[in-house]
Amino acid sequence: MPHASRTSKPKPRLKQKPRPPKRVRLAPEARQALILDHAAEIVARDGVSALSMDSIGREAGISKSLVYNYFPNTTDLLRQLLQREWRRLRRLQVEAAREADTFEALVRSVTHVYLKYIDERGMLIERLQAEPSVSAMHDPTEFSRDSAVGYLAEIVADHFGLPMDIAKAATDISFGLPATAGAYLLQRKMTRQALEDLTVTMILGTLDALKREHIAGRRLPRRARAAS
């Protein structure tokens, strides 16, 4: 009796272990920017005190020693982060201001950019500036509040017909309004648009009132001004 032919069963294929993804070798500039990105996330989320070379390494998925290859210490890293964030924000504000065709549009566009930045990045710049060792190295010529106030004060003086000393004081004080609105925005008690409208109204209303007072003061007799 002939033997029945045996059909050979196919051998089961062994599942291959998935290969770990190859690490992408980043250019030094790209790696440095990535480290700053992760540092910004930590500061915006948890504050400056939560930042360390270890926490940055964990957040970025790299070794602490690699972080040290780009930054000698956390203070230097934070200083460079502050410089980068100022450049980014100032560039956006300048671009928005250039497109404005009225003074109100200028105030609104600059305020809009700032509140949008706060909405996306949190109080990152404010937290960095609150650190004396970080803000001490801030570039006074390009990104400082004084240079920005001086530039805008000239526009305010020309537009509202105010003396330069009054225009500068009013501009300097008004500078704090968007920052206060940004802090309020993070509490989520009002919408960003509502806070933008409120901030712009307060700035323009203050400058209009100063203009009226200045005009009225110039019309008073000299003796009445001295008595007041």
**How large a percentage of the chain has pLDDT more than 90?**
47
Position of tokens 């070379």? Answer: 53
Cα–Cα distance, 228 to 219 (Å, whole number): 13
pLDDT > 80? residue 140? no
pLDDT > 50? residue 224? no
pLDDT > 80? residue 212? yes
pLDDT > 80? residue 215? yes
Q: Please answer whether residues 56 and 38 qualify as being in contact, where contact means their C-beta atoms are separated by less than 8 angstroms.
A: yes
Higher pLDDT, 222 or 85: 85
User: pLDDT tens digits, residue range 23-68?
Assistant: 567 787 888 999 999 999 999 888 899 999 999 999 988 999 999 9
pLDDT for 141:
47
Cα torsion 121, 126, 128, 132 to 10°: value is 180
User: pLDDT tens digits, residue range 146-169?
Assistant: 778 888 899 999 999 999 999 999
Rg of the Cα atoms in the chain = 29
Average pLDDT, the chain: 83
Which residue type does 114 have?
Y
Burial 192-209 (b: 16+ CB within 10 A, else e): beebbeebbeebbeebee
Q: Please answer whether residues 83 and 139 qualify as being in contact, where contact means their C-beta atoms are separated by less than 8 angstroms.
A: yes
- Binned at pLDDT 50, 70 and 90, residue 11 comes out as low
pLDDT for 93:
85
pLDDT > 50? residue 220? no
DSSP state of 20: P
Cα–Cα distance, 25 to 10 (Å, whole number): 42
Domain ranges of the chain: 100-227
pLDDT for 87:
86
**Around 113, how many Cα atoms within 13 Å sit in the side-chain half-sphere?**
19
pLDDT for 3:
54
pLDDT for 175:
86
**How large a percentage of the chain has pLDDT more than 70?**
81
| First-residue to last-residue Cα distance in the chain | 132
pLDDT > 70? residue 180? yes
Most confident segment among 3-7, 95-99, 170-174, 215-219: 170-174
